[in-house]
Structure 1
Amino acid sequence: MMIELERLLRSQGFGSRADCRALVRSGSVGVAGQLCENPFARFEADGLSFTVDGVAWLYRRFAYLALHKPAGYECSQRPLHHPSVYSLLPDPLLTRGVQAVGRLDEDSTGLLLLTDDGQFIHRYTSPKKAVPKVYEVTTRHVVDAPQIAALLAGVVLNDDPRPVAAQDCVLLGPRCLCLTVTEGRYHLVKRMLAAAGNRVEALHRISIGGFVLPASLEVGKWMWLEAPELELLAADKVSTF
């Protein structure tokens, strides 16, 4: 797809067409390693690399991101009591409208997906899709066999008579377990543990679909999701990253 440079920059979150035109004319934009001061120059968008103020970017029709969420951040663009996870992203990604795919509580940590692709958001938040999400759960009390059995068989939450069952539940330590769920209800894991007779002290999301939070992704940092990671996300079993 051939596209004018100012329109390309606008699609990638660098402001209005007027803003992008001024950015190019100021000498701030390079394309494929060469300075370009013509905002109307046309380029093949797919796979195009460019720089803005020396920062390298790659044209992407949609942005797919993984963020290692820290504790103490809200998954809201209008946070009430704590900083927003969106403050951890560069401005162009915010301008192009990336949104969190589901949420993690303020005190929860781990894998958070973000995108500006509405179909992707639906795919990974729709209850009908039953996408597995794996959490490492630290509990207040020692986890016993009846609690694990209850989580696997299904517990009843206070707002729904229909039992909710974990897809998998593995004991990692006296007060730590690995829990897999396929729903995305509000405070689901915390409420499930409470219904089983325990309490969540810490919650860390390890994976979504088949994609595991990379050990190399530091807390508070984000990464692009490319084709290999997107394929893992679409898998229904966790793979070693």
Structure 2
Amino acid sequence: MQQILYSQGFGTRRVCTGLVEQGYVEVEGRACNDPYADVVPEGLRFRVQGTEWQYHAKAYVLLHKPAGFECSTRPSAWPSIYTLLPPPLRQRPTPKGQPGVQAVGRLDQDTTGMLLLSDDGAFIHRMSSPRHHVPKVYDITVRHALETTAVQRLLDGVVLDDDPKPVRAAACEVTAPCELRLTLTEGKYHQVKRMLAAVGNRVEQLHRSRIGGLSLPAQLAPGHWQWLTEDDLALLR
């Protein structure tokens, strides 16, 4: 039981031992007082100081990022997105590097929407690497009404100041005079804002609504998170 608590981010092994010995851990509705009790981890649900938790060998999490948060553990001016997560997700031990789940890519502090987090390095690389061309859909409000020529330029490719190779939108749909939906398969610094600036417009609001085949759940409020299911992971792939 001690090892399970440690693997889920409930503290050091010594802290986890203390939690069990002091009666703060319940398994199947009964107090567990033996830190070395044998427990099958798969499908295990337990309580720690009244908080219900389910065992996950690897953490795959979806966060509805609100505006005003930075995707950094050391934010410069705004609160960190990691403050929106419970301590166990921030403290999960990893084989190397920083403990806890890490964001799969980043969203600017004023950008809202879908953000994935995990402690699985291979998953993070697969979802964020431009080589895998994982589509990401953004709903955008711009300052000026969109013209057909601007939309076509986004599809044909625009040149950003740090890369002479044109960057193209995989798909572009105008949903209102000043609103569009943009699908990208790579992620560069401030890419959406810079692409719209390159066609003479300005982003007023930016929201990521889908990654791969998985859409942001309508019932997930800003600032809230949920575990990704196997079906969710299949849609992401």
State the match for 1:11 in structure 2: 7
- Correspondence 1:90 to 2:93: no
1:166-177 equivalences under 5 Å are 166-177=169-180
Q: Secondary structure of the residue that 1:232 maps to in structure 2?
A: helix
1:37-116 equivalences under 5 Å are 37-96=33-92, 97-116=100-119
Q: Secondary structure of the residue that 1:8 maps to in structure 2?
A: helix
Matched residue type, 2:63: L
Output the CA distance in 2 between the equivalents of 1:135 and 1:127. Answer: 17
- Correspondence 1:158 to 2:161: yes
Output the CA distance in 2 between the equivalents of 1:130 and 1:167. Answer: 10
Output the CA distance in 2 between the equivalents of 1:169 and 1:206. Answer: 14
Output the CA distance in 1 between the equivalents of 2:133 and 2:162. Answer: 20
Output the CA distance in 2 between the equivalents of 1:215 and 1:157. Answer: 33
Output the CA distance in 2 between the equivalents of 1:147 and 1:214. Answer: 31
Output the CA distance in 1 between the equivalents of 2:84 and 2:234. Answer: 25
Unmatched 5+ residue regions in structure 2? 93-99
Q: Which residue, out of 205, 223, 234, partners 2:226?
A: 223
Q: Secondary structure of the residue that 1:150 maps to in structure 2?
A: helix
Matched residue type, 1:28: Y
Structure 1 residue 54: Cα displacement: 1.5
Instruction: Detail structure 1 runs of 4+ shifted over 2 Å in the superposition.
Output: none
Q: Secondary structure of the residue that 1:43 maps to in structure 2?
A: coil
RMSD: 0.7
TM-score (structure 2 length as normaliser): 0.96
Unmatched 5+ residue regions in structure 1? 235-241
Output the CA distance in 2 between the equivalents of 1:124 and 1:40. Answer: 37
Output the CA distance in 1 between the equivalents of 2:187 and 2:64. Answer: 19
State the match for 2:121 in structure 1: 118
Structure 1 residue 33: Cα displacement: 2.2
Output the CA distance in 1 between the equivalents of 2:28 and 2:188. Answer: 45
Q: Secondary structure of the residue that 2:140 maps to in structure 1?
A: strand
Matched residue type, 1:51: R
State the match for 1:179 in structure 2: 182
Deviations 1:181-214 (A, max 9, x none): 0001110111111112211111000000000000
Matched residue type, 2:190: H
Output the CA distance in 2 between the equivalents of 1:16 and 1:103. Answer: 29
Structure 1 residue 73: Cα displacement: 0.4
State the match for 1:237 in structure 2: none
Output the CA distance in 2 between the equivalents of 1:101 and 1:125. Answer: 6
Structure 1 residue 35: Cα displacement: 1.1
Deviations 1:111-148 (A, max 9, x none): 00011110110011111001000000110111110000
Q: How many residues align?
A: 230
Identity of aligned residues (%): 56
Q: Secondary structure of the residue that 1:46 maps to in structure 2?
A: coil
